[in-house]
């Protein structure tokens, strides 16, 4: 039995998970997500870690490996750090065994990751620095429209005549949205248009890395946005990509899960060669 | 004692583009002279024996805005000569009484000529090193080169470079090299105790401090670092290769470390450990320095390897010696020696099954995210998918 923690420090949220890994079996001991909202992500990581330990009734000494991912390189009590591609791939395979690609859509970036059945990254591509394919952009638009983030998916799926939005630039897209509002376009149609714009960018990532087999798992903070999932599926169909896109209720934890599982793997490997790393 | 104040001092020295430490040394006694030098190697022992302070000039880093320097070079030339010219033209190198331009590449060789034209009242010398390692050929040539240095330095300093003075200086540098090697050994043993950022800053201090003072500093750091409790991370161990001339920004080194890599060997500031063994104190000191260069020195792209079968084996040896799991080739953009050497070195690593990744930088590179991603995924691939 190896207890490991995974901490995914994202731009929009800090996710912490605790796992008990025995051989091939991995079971949840705790999970927590905190929106950053201008707070110190390192402090949130500390609090989140303490919370999952409390949830599991464990102490820091019980944890064999604290693995960070995302922007977690500065988490002082980490044992090791893994990169987002690596952890989302592994977390994705844990959440949906059999997937062959991961589409990680977070606050700042979108990433298409082509993986093998073990969760090894074969190739990947990220959105460019422009934020128009990201969660932050969607959140901004929702705020302008006065829509709660949780309502975005349902509203988008009720659209009857979606308006196209620039898929190149977040600034242009925001201007588009302002124009739409002044033209009286309904909120569902605007949101659906934004989802279509984002989906178009994200599917391009999958095409660029030549994802030929599915299913594709959506991970990251936007995986729970049913409107985005639907728009991605529709875009794939339009592009004649015979792939299914799925999401898990725990997709937001994919990075943290992957970190925790890779942490367990590393702990066992280091134990075998007598070189266990120690978290401070 | 903590390492923090030592590193803080080194950082201040590193960030000071006005060479205040050097100015203070020079002002402390009338008549003191300072000799600048560029990478990768000069026999600092001779400068020291002439009573002068050797000062490594490694470009302007990421804090210097190059305005004049760019006018002297085409866009496909690296940045170190531009920022060195900038340092010169803005008066920051006025403290130097001369400059040595070692034989590292055409750009630096030509810079020696430009320096003579731009700073006519200052000594500037292209320091050639042998690419033939036969004592009777390369050795004879090199000894003549060293004699030229002795003669020139005597003239500048007004002090005889006697054999006895040379032996004393050789002894001082032997000691400093041993301490620097101890620092590298500590980093191999416990890289979490001596970070590469620390090691780098300590070596940068060696570029401007009197060698005796630097030896004390290294000794203090070693004592403090060994006593400090720092956690061992689950990082992979890598050798950094290609940084021997234009310097990587400190942020790049920090990014590599943050990305999950312990750098356990590198090739920056090779002048501090170019000679692999103590230079003997008995016998003719110039012959001893020549013998050390020909037969007991390191390898880098600027040094010819006569036997092609041995090309790159020094890197394999460095990987083995340091227990590294891979190599990161970080080379300055447009660095002919590093970038022309890289494919040959990569072939050797391929043949030995050693993983590597490669990227380029400039001394003023500011965007580290791509480097973090690349170094991080490389570290992950080693930790998760290597056979070991």
Q: Give the CATH number, domain containing residue B122.
A: 3.40.50.11890
Task: Name which of A85, A278, A280 is nearest B377 (Cβ-Cβ).
Answer: A85
Task: Name which of B231, B376, B384 is nearest A262 (Cβ-Cβ).
Answer: B384
A-contacting residues in B 313-372 (Cβ below 8 Å):
372
In chain A, what residues touch B377 (CB-CB under 8 Å)? 83, 85-86, 121
For the segment B71-98, what is each residue's pLDDT rounded down to a tens digit?
Answer: 999 999 999 999 999 999 999 999 999 9
Task: Name which of B260, B379, B384 is nearest A265 (Cβ-Cβ).
Answer: B384
| Tokens read off for B259 | 């990305």
pLDDT > 90 in chain B, percent: 96
In chain A, what residues touch B235 (CB-CB under 8 Å)? 80, 277
Task: Name which of A80, A273, A279 is nearest B235 (Cβ-Cβ).
Answer: A80
- HSE, CB side, 13 Å, CA atoms: give it for residue B196: 28
In chain A, what residues touch B234 (CB-CB under 8 Å)? 65, 79-80, 266, 270, 277
How many Cβ atoms sit within 10 Å of the Cβ of residue A160? Answer: 8
How close, in Å, is residue B111 to chain A by CA atoms? 39
Name residue A5's beta-bridge partners.
A18, A66
The pLDDT, as a whole number, for residue A260 is: 97
Confidence of residue B387 (pLDDT cuts 50, 70, 90): low
- Looking only at the bridges linking them, the beta strands covering A101-105 and A80-81 are unpaired
- Asked, for residue B87, whether it belongs to a domain, the answer is yes
The pLDDT, as a whole number, for residue A276 is: 77
Q: Which H or E run contains B199? A: helix B196-206
Chain B contact for A82, CB < 8 A? yes
pTM of the shown model: 0.89
Contact assignment for A65 to B376 by CB distance below 8 Å: no
Contact assignment for A121 to B377 by CB distance below 8 Å: yes
- The packing angle between helices B163-189 and B196-206, to 10°, is 170
- Looking only at the bridges linking them, the beta strands covering B34-37 and B53-56 are parallel
Question: How far is Cα A154 from Cα A80, in angstroms, rounded to an integer?
Answer: 39
B366 has pLDDT over 90 = no
In chain B, what residues touch A114 (CB-CB under 8 Å)? none
- Asked, for residue B124, whether it belongs to a domain, the answer is yes
Confidence of residue B136 (pLDDT cuts 50, 70, 90): very high
| Tokens read off for A10 | 């994202």
The segment(s) of chain A belonging to CATH 3.30.420.40 are: 2-90+253-272, 97-247
Predicted-assembly ipTM surpassing the 0.85 threshold: no
The pLDDT, as a whole number, for residue A131 is: 58
How many Cβ atoms sit within 10 Å of the Cβ of residue B228? Answer: 15
Q: What is the average pLDDT across B300-326?
A: 96
Task: Name which of A80, A121, A273 is nearest B260 (Cβ-Cβ).
Answer: A80
In chain A, what residues touch B193 (CB-CB under 8 Å)? none
Mean pLDDT for all residues in chain B: 96
The pLDDT, as a whole number, for residue A178 is: 86
Q: What is the average pLDDT across B123-146?
A: 96
How close, in Å, is residue A277 to chain B by CA atoms? 5
How close, in Å, is residue A153 to chain B by CA atoms? 32
Q: What is the average pLDDT across B244-270?
A: 96
Which architecture, in CATH terms, is A2-90+253-272? Answer: 2-Layer Sandwich (3.30)
The boundaries of the domain holding residue B140 are 19-164
pLDDT tens string, chain A, 280 residues long: the values are: 899 999 999 988 999 999 999 988 999 999 999 998 889 999 999 999 999 999 999 999 999 999 999 999 999 999 999 999 999 999 999 999 999 999 998 887 788 999 998 999 988 888 765 655 577 888 888 888 888 888 999 999 999 999 887 655 667 777 888 888 899 999 999 999 989 988 988 999 999 988 888 799 999 888 989 999 999 999 999 988 888 999 999 999 999 999 999 999 999 999 988 877 765 5
Fold for A97-247, please state it: Nucleotidyltransferase; domain 5 (3.30.420)
The pLDDT, as a whole number, for residue A133 is: 59
Counting one residue from chain A and one from chain B, the pairs whose CB atoms sit within 8 A come to 58
Chain A residue nearest residue B374, CA to CA: A83
| Tokens read off for A192 | 């659906």
Chain A residue nearest residue B257, CA to CA: A73
Question: How far is Cα B326 from Cα B127, in angstroms, rounded to an integer?
Answer: 34
For the segment B322-331, what is each residue's pLDDT rounded down to a tens digit?
Answer: 999 999 999 9
The pLDDT, as a whole number, for residue B110 is: 96
- Asked, for residue B88, whether it belongs to a domain, the answer is yes
Contact assignment for B380 to A82 by CB distance below 8 Å: yes
How close, in Å, is residue A280 to chain B by CA atoms? 5
Chain B contact for A265, CB < 8 A? yes
* Of A213-222, B18-27, B55-64, B246-255, minimum mean pLDDT range: A213-222
- Asked, for residue B29, whether it belongs to a domain, the answer is yes
* Of A116-130, B169-183, B355-369, minimum mean pLDDT range: A116-130
Confidence of residue B217 (pLDDT cuts 50, 70, 90): very high
The pLDDT, as a whole number, for residue B388 is: 56
How close, in Å, is residue B375 to chain A by CA atoms? 10
How many domains is chain B partitioned into structurally? 1
Chain B contact for A63, CB < 8 A? no
Specify the higher pLDDT residue, A182 or B6: B6
């Amino acid at each position: 039995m190896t207890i490991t923690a995974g901490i995914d420090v994202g731009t929009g949220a800090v996710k912490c998970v605790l796992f008990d890994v025995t051989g091939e079996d991995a079971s949840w001991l705790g999970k927590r997500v905190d929106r950053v909202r201008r707070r110190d992500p390192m402090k949130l990581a500390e609090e989140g870690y303490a919370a999952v330990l409390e949830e599991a009734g464990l102490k820091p000494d019980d944890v064999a490996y604290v693995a960070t991912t995302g922007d977690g390189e500065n988490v002082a009590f980490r044992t090791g750090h893994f990169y987002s591609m690596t952890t989302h791939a592994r977390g994705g395979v844990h959440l949906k065994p059999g997937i062959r690609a991961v589409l990680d859509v977070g606050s700042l970036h979108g990433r298409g990751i082509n993986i093998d059945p073990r969760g090894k990254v074969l190739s990947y591509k990220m959105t460019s620095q422009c934020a128009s394919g990201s969660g932050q952009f969607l959140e901004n638009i929702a705020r302008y429209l006065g829509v709660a983030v949780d309502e975005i998916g349902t509203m988008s799926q009720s659209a009857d005549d979606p308006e196209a939005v620039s898929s190149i630039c977040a600034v242009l897209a925001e201007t588009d949205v302002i124009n739409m509002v002044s033209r009286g376009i309904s909120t569902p149609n605007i949101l659906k248009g934004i989802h279509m714009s984002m989906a178009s960018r994200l599917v391009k990532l999958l095409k660029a890395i030549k994802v030929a087999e599915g299913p594709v798992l959506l991970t990251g903070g936007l995986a729970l946005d049913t409107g985005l999932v639907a728009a991605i599926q529709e875009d794939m169909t339009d592009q004649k990509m015979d792939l299914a896109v799925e999401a898990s209720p725990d997709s937001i934890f994919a990075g943290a899960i992957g970190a925790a599982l890779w942490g367990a793997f590393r702990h066992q490997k280091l134990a075998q060669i007598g070189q266990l790393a120690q978290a401070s | 004692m903590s390492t923090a104040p030592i590193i803080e001092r080194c950082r201040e020295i590193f960030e000071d583009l006005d060479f205040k430490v050097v100015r203070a040394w020079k002002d402390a006694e009338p008549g003191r002279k300072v000799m600048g030098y560029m990478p990768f190697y000069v026999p600092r022992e001779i400068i020291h024996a002439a009573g002068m302070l050797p000062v490594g000039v490694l470009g302007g880093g990421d804090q210097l805005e190059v305005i004049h320097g760019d006018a002297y070079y085409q866009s496909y030339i690296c940045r170190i000569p531009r920022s060195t010219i900038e340092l010169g033209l803005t008066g920051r190198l006025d403290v130097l009484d001369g400059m040595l331009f070692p034989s590292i590449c055409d750009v630096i060789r030509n810079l020696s000529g430009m320096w003579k034209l731009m700073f006519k009242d200052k000594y500037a010398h292209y320091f050639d090193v042998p690419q033939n390692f036969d004592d009777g050929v390369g050795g004879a040539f090199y000894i003549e080169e060293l004699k030229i240095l002795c003669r020139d330095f005597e003239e500048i300093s007004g002090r005889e470079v006697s054999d006895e003075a040379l032996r004393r200086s050789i002894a001082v540098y032997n000691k400093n090299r041993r301490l620097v090697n101890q620092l590298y050994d500590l980093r191999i043993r416990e890289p979490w105790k001596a970070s590469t950022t620390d090691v780098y800053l300590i070596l940068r201090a060696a570029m401007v401090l009197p060698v005796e003072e630097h030896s004390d500093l290294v000794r203090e750091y070693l004592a403090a670092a060994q006593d400090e409790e720092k956690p061992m991370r689950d990082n992979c161990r890598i050798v950094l290769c290609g940084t021997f001339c234009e310097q990587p920004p400190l942020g790049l080194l920090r990014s590599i470390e943050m990305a999950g890599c312990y750098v356990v060997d590198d090739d920056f500031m090779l002048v501090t450990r170019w000679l692999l063994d103590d230079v003997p104190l008995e016998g003719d000191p110039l012959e001893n320095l020549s013998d050390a260069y020909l037969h007991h020195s390191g390898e880098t792209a600027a040094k010819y390897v006569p036997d092609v079968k041995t090309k790159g084996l020094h890197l394999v040896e460095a990987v083995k010696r340091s227990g590294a799991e891979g190599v990161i080739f970080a080379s300055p953009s447009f660095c002919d020696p590093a970038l022309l050497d890289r494919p040959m070195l990569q072939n050797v690593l391929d043949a030995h099954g050693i993983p590597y990744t490669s990227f380029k930088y400039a001394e003023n590179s500011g965007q580290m995210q791509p480097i973090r991603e690349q170094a991080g995924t490389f570290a992950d691939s080693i930790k998760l998918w290597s056979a070991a």
